[in-house]
Amino acid sequence: MRVMPYAAIGAHYAIHLPAPDDFAFWRERARGLVQCDIPPDRVSWIEPGGIGDLFASEGRETSLARSDKRLPVPPADAPPVRASQHFLTLARRAALHSDPARFRLLYQTLWRLQSNPRLMEDKADAQVRRIEELAKSVRRDAHKMHAFVRFREVTEEDGTPHFVAWFEPDHHIVRAEAAFFMRRFANMRWSILTPRGSVHWDGETMREGPPARIEDAPGGDPVEDLWRSYYASIFNPARLKVSAMLSEMPKKYWKNLPEAALIPQLIAGAQAREAAMVKAGAREERVRPASLAEVTQGIAACRDCLIADCGTRAVAGEGPERAALMIVGEQPGDQEDLAGRPFVGPAGQVLDDHLARAGILRSAAYVTNAVKHFKFTWKGKLRLHQSPTAKEIDTCRWWLEAERAAVRPRIVLALGASAARGILGRTVSVNQVRGRPIPLDDGAELWVTVHPSYLLRLDGAARDEQTARFAADLALVRERQAAD
Amino acid sequence: MSVPTLRQKLEILADAAKYDASCASSGTAKKNSLGGKGVGSTEGMGICHAYAPDGRCISLLKILLTNHCIFDCHYCINRKSSNVARARFTPQEVVDLTLNFYRRNYIEGLFLSSGIVRSANHTMEQLVEVARILREEHDFRGYIHLKTIPEADAEIIHLAGLYADRVSINVELPTDAGLTRLAPDKNAGQIEGAMGRTKARIIEAKDERKRFRHAPRFAPAGQSTQMIVGADDANDTAIIGKASRLYGAFGLRRVYYSAFSPIPDASAVLPLKRPPLLREHRLYQSDWLMRFYGFAPGEVADAAEADGNLPLDIDPKLAWALKFRESFPVDVNRAAKEQLLRVPGLGTTAVARIIAARRHRTLRLDDVAQLTASIAKVRPFICALDWRPTLLTDRADLRRLLAPKQEQLELF
State which of B255, B287, B316 marks the end of a domain: B316
Instruction: Find, in chain A, the residue whose alpha carbon is nearest to that of B107.
Output: A147
Residue B277 in contact with partner chain A when CB distance is under 8 A: yes
CATH of residue B31's domain is 3.20.20.70
Is the domain of B26 the same as that of B172? yes
Asked if residue B407 belongs to a domain, the reply is: no
On whether residue B409 sits in a domain, the answer given is no
Pairing of strands A411-415, A445-449: parallel
Contact state of B268 with A259 under an 8 Å Cβ cutoff: no
Distance, C-alpha A149 to centroid of its chain: 21
Q: State whether B294 and B350 are in the same domain.
A: no
Choose among A150, A183, A237: nearest Cβ to B106. Answer: A150
Question: CA Rg, chain A, in Å?
Answer: 41
Mean pLDDT for the stretch of residues B100-106:
95
The parent domain of residue B293 ranges over: 276-316
DSSP notation for B325-350: GGG--EETTT--HHHHTTSTT--HHH
Q: Which of A12, A7, A36 is nearest to A104 (CA)?
A: A12
- Contact status, residue A374 vs residue A332, Cβ threshold 8 Å: yes
Tens digit of each residue's pLDDT (9 = 90 or more) over B399-410: 777 777 665 555
- B268:A243 CB<8 A: no
Handedness of CA B52, B57, B63, B64 (dihedral sign): negative
Interface test with chain A among B5, B49, B261, by most A beta carbons within 10 Å: B49
- The tens digit of pLDDT for each residue in B25-76 reads 888 888 898 888 999 999 878 899 999 988 888 999 999 999 999 888 888 8
Determine which of A244-253, A278-287, B213-222 has the lowest per-residue pLDDT on average: A278-287
Dihedral, B122, B127, B129, B132 alpha carbons, nearest 10: -150
The verdict on residue B1 lying in a domain is: no
Same domain for B353 and B298? no
B34 with B141, same domain: the answer is: yes
Whether A122 and B360 lie within 8 Å, measured CB to CB: yes
B58 with B191, same domain: the answer is yes
Question: Does B209 lie in the same domain as B341?
Answer: no
Among chain B residues, CA nearest to A144: B49
Give the domain-ending residue among B265, B285, B302: B265
Cβ-contact B22, B168 below 8 angstroms: yes
| Largest pairwise CA distance in chain B | 77
A221 interaction partners in chain B (CB closer than 8 Å): 104
Confidence of residue B411 (pLDDT cuts 50, 70, 90): low
Residue B408 forms part of a structural domain: no
**Dist. CA B253–CA B246, nearest whole Å:** 10
User: Which of B234, B344, B324 lies closest to B283 in space, CA to CA?
Assistant: B234
Q: Which of A18, A19, A43, A48 minimizes the C-alpha distance to A31?
A: A43
Mutate to test the interface with B, among A180, A205, A221, A227 (most CBs of B within 10 A): A227
Q: Is A235 helix (H, G, I), strand (E, B) or coil?
A: coil
Backbone angles phi, psi at A433, to 5 degrees: -105, -5
Q: Are residues B87 and B223 in the same domain?
A: yes
B36:A186 CB<8 A = yes
Query: Is A235 in contact with B52 (Cβ distance < 8 A)?
Result: yes
Tell me: the pLDDT tens digits for B162-212? 999 999 998 888 888 888 888 888 888 888 888 998 998 899 888 888 888
Q: Is residue B55, in this structure, part of any structural domain at all? A: yes
What is the reported pLDDT for A25? 94
Instruction: Determine what percent of chain A is predicted with pLDDT higher than 90.
Output: 47
pLDDT for residue B315 is more than 60: yes
The tally of domains found in chain B comes to 3
Q: CA B248, CA B240: separation in Å to the nearest integer? A: 12
Q: Is B208 on the interface with A (CB under 8 A)?
A: no
pLDDT (0 to 100) of residue A56: 39
Q: Are residues B308 and B333 in the same domain?
A: no
Asked if the C-beta of B96 comes within 8 angstroms of chain A's C-beta atoms, the answer is no
B94 and B233 both lie in a single domain: yes
Average pLDDT over residues A278-301: 73
Q: Between B276 and B48, name the one with better pLDDT.
A: B48
Residues B230 and B361 in one domain: no
Tens of pLDDT, residue by residue over B217-260, are: 888 888 999 988 888 888 899 999 899 988 988 988 889 988 87
For residue A206, what pLDDT band results from cuts at 50, 70 and 90?
A: very high
- Compute the C-alpha angle B234/B237/B241, nearest 5°: 95
Nearest to A187 among B38, B47, B264 (CB): B38
The pLDDT value given to residue A14: 87
Tens of pLDDT along A261-272? 898 888 888 777
Confidence of residue A142 (pLDDT cuts 50, 70, 90): very high
Q: Is residue B216 part of a domain?
A: yes
Closest CA of chain A from B141, distance in Å: 9
Q: Identify whether B300 is part of a domain.
A: yes
Residues B60 and B201 reside in one and the same domain? yes
Is the CB of residue B362 less than 8 Å away from at least one CB of chain A?
no
**Does B385 lie at the interface with A, CB-CB under 8 angstroms?**
no
User: What is the reported pLDDT for A2?
Assistant: 41
Contact B370 A185 (CB under 8 A): no
Taking the Cβ of residue A90 and every Cβ of chain B, the question of whether any pair is shorter than 8 Å is answered with: no
* Residue B301 confidence (pLDDT) above 70: yes
Query: Looking at the partner chain, which of B72, B177, B356 has a beta carbon nearest the beta carbon of A441?
Result: B177
| B365 & B308 share domain | no
8 Å CB contact of A226 and B19: no
Domains of chain A listed by start with CATH number: 13-143 (no CATH), 149-216 (no CATH), 235-280 (no CATH), 292-483 (3.40.470.10)
pLDDT value of position B9: 94
Task: Answer whether A177 touches B (CB < 8 Å).
Answer: no
| Residues A95, A105 contacting (CB under 8 angstroms) | no
What average pLDDT does chain A have?
Answer: 86
| Of B301 and B23, more confident | B301
Which pLDDT does position A173 carry in this prediction? 95
Residue B271 counted as domain residue: no
Residues 430-459 of A with CB under 8 A from B: 441
Q: What is the DSSP pairing of strand A445-449 with strand A438-439?
A: antiparallel
C-alpha B400/C-alpha B271 separation (Å) is 32
B-chain CB neighbours of A270 within 8 Å are 53
Chains A–B, number of C-beta pairs less than 8 Å apart: 221
Report how far apart the first and last C-alpha atoms of chain B are (Å, whole number): 50
- Taking the C-alpha atoms of residue B133 and residue B149, their distance in angstroms, rounded to an integer, is 20
Q: Is the Cβ of A253 closer than 8 Å to some Cβ of chain B? A: no
What would the pLDDT profile of A77-129 be if each residue is shown by its tens digit? 888 898 989 999 999 999 999 999 999 999 999 999 999 888 888 888 889 99
B95, B138 Cβ separation under 8 angstroms: yes
Q: Do B7 and A241 touch (CB under 8 A)?
A: no
Instruction: Quote the CA–CA distance of B170 and B22 in Å, as a whole number.
Output: 11
The pLDDT value recorded for residue A278 is 62
The tens digit of pLDDT for each residue in A160-171 reads: 999 999 999 999
